[in-house]
Structure 1
Amino acid sequence: MKNIRYAVMVALGIVLSTGCSAESDASSESTGKAASQPAATVNSSAEQAVNDKVKSIVGVEPEAIANSPVDGLLEVTAANQVFYVTENADYMMFGHMYDVNAGMKDLTEVALGQVRLDAIAPFADQGIEFKAENEKHVMTVFTDYTCGYCKKLHREVDELNEAGITVRYLAWPRAGLGTENYENMVSIWCAKNPQEALTRAKSIANPTFAKEDCDNTVAEQFVAGRKLGIRGTPAIIFDNGTMLPGYKPADVLIQEIAQTE
């Protein structure tokens, strides 16, 4: 059972690409509407069987169990990931489901997009925001002032703003909770001018910080990112739930977010 659980957790993982990896794992804790709407109600006996099996193998309670577009196959959301289980709970499938009659639409990514949006929704007014004057989209970015790729992306915020993209930063201290890195991120979030404090921290090699403290959700933001599978920065989430692992230039981001309209 231990080996099975390990295999399942590996299957649920997300690997980031171009970006800054976490310095430590010690402090751990696209989208739109689906092409086919599943039936409203899951058979209660099947739901209980799947709930019990997932809990015993994955080690967490499913957050949601719904019918998938495939008869006899249920869509399960657990640990902020989406996978599939047969109604008799005898088989689990990890990977993405595509609707071949809708241009190979990725139905799993649709479901994952909503999971991501739900996870970051509590922080909508608790990030550090660089707002576009003519806002068309909001791009949420998990960031760390020590990350070189985050600094590179930050230098392109003006270009993103000019394209109508608001950049909303959430904190993801790569060294983990309780570290100096974490405390400095708290100081940035609690500064009198957080935008200025973050820009300064990303603009110089070895920034110093006046210790600041306030009612903040830096720890909660970090934990939310971990639960979404984030293991490095920057991690970018478009306002339709699409997640991009790692850095991309502003011109590429502008093109890709436009394709979600």
Structure 2
Amino acid sequence: MRILAALLTVFAVVNTSFAENAVQPVTDAAPLSAEQLKEQNKQLAAKVQAQISQSFGQPVKVKEVISLANQQIIETVLSDGSLVHLTPDLTHMIYRGELYELLPMKPNNITKNRNNVKREGLMASLDDKDLVIFKAKGEEKTVINVFTDIDCGYCRKLHEEVGRLNDLGITVRYLAYPRAGVTDRRTGQLTGSFKKIKSVWCDDNRAEAMTSAKMNRTIKDNLECDAPIAEHIALGYEVGVSGTPAIVLQDGRFIGGYMKADELADMIGLE
């Protein structure tokens, strides 16, 4: 219901460039015949198909459209079975839980943009003393935040790129995200991945310990300190981490998985 309320609020926003595609409001005219309703839905399907295709810049096939809630919502079934919902003026669409503004040739993912702003604020609020940091060499051009696990294969591959990232002016800030969690559900004991990553955070030289751990070198174990691992895991859930490595850029954009240093720099937009 909250999503529906938010959607109804958006209905007031009108994109004048798409005005001709708007669905006409309900009037006191006589009820339409079955044939007329069929023709009306056919025309509406054509408008919806044209609108989505124009915004995404590629052809989209519409199988069926249904007007709901007194014509305040247009439910659309695409050829691949996907279900989308549009506002009557066809300027906004909900697809897979995300709200899009259907701008010409480029849809604006409103949900993703709002999430980026949220993640940007959360990352900016982190205290460096709670992180493992590999500073950029020379001028710092940007910062990336990486949720990492010690044993994760792609986390290790990404760590091999840290030197190159630093050369490119990118500071890497690590957050602890042991994939096995803090405790084993069966035994109630601390997991091995938690113990390893805690040893890194409790080491006097975290950066050196991180590199050693990811290279399977011997590291000091059973070290004790007030490591913020549980807090990092909770933060990971909040920003959408579902696996490691997970990268949050300085502007809040989210990258789930491994990327080579130069590819990452290109995505960020560094020259």
- TM more than 0.5: yes
- The one of 105, 108, 112 equivalent to 1:109 is 112
**Secondary structure of 1:177's partner?**
coil
**Residue 208 to residue 197, structure 1, CA distance change in 2 (3 Å):** closer
**Residue 213 to residue 109, structure 1, CA distance change in 2 (3 Å):** same
- The one of 149, 158, 164 equivalent to 2:163 is 158
**Secondary structure of 2:221's partner?**
coil
**Secondary structure of 1:123's partner?**
coil
Residue 67 of structure 1, CA deviation: 9.7
Residue 50 of structure 1, CA deviation: 4.0
Aligned letter for 2:152?
A: C
RMSD, aligned CA: 3.1
The match for 2:63 is: none
Question: What are structure 1's unaligned runs of at least 5 residues?
Answer: 1-48, 55-64, 74-83, 87-91
Q: Does 1:229 align with 2:229?
A: no
Q: How do 1:116-195 and structure 2 match up within 5 A?
A: 116-125=119-128, 126-132=130-136, 133-178=138-183, 179-195=191-207
The match for 2:268 is: 257
In the aligned structure 1, how far is the partner of 2:111 from the partner of 2:181?
Answer: 30
The one of the two structures with greater contact order (alpha-carbon pairs below 8 A, sep at least 6) is: 1
Aligned letter for 1:108?
A: T
Q: Does 1:242 align with 2:253?
A: yes
The match for 1:71 is: 12
In the aligned structure 2, how far is the partner of 1:253 from the partner of 1:183?
Answer: 30
Aligned letter for 2:206?
A: P
In the aligned structure 2, how far is the partner of 1:143 from the partner of 1:207?
Answer: 19
**Residue 115 to residue 106, structure 1, CA distance change in 2 (3 Å):** same
Residue 109 of structure 1, CA deviation: 1.6
Q: How do 1:43-82 and structure 2 match up within 5 A?
A: 50=2, 70-71=11-12
TM-score norm. by structure 2 comes to 0.60
Question: What are structure 2's unaligned runs of at least 5 residues?
Answer: 14-71, 73-84, 88-93, 184-190
**Residue 208 to residue 128, structure 1, CA distance change in 2 (3 Å):** closer
State the aligned residue count.
185
In the aligned structure 2, how far is the partner of 1:128 from the partner of 1:239?
Answer: 16
For the 8 Å contact 2:98–2:109, the answer to whether it is kept is no
Aligned letter for 1:144?
A: D
Which has the larger Rg?
2
TM-score norm. by structure 1 comes to 0.62
In the aligned structure 1, how far is the partner of 2:9 from the partner of 2:113?
Answer: 12
Deviations 1:161-195 (A, max 9, x none): 11111111101000101322112211111100000
For the 8 Å contact 1:123–1:221, the answer to whether it is kept is no
**Residue 244 to residue 135, structure 1, CA distance change in 2 (3 Å):** same
Residue 207 of structure 1, CA deviation: 4.3
In the aligned structure 2, how far is the partner of 1:247 from the partner of 1:171?
Answer: 16
Residue 105 of structure 1, CA deviation: 3.0
Q: How do 1:200-211 and structure 2 match up within 5 A?
A: 200-204=212-216, 207-211=218-222
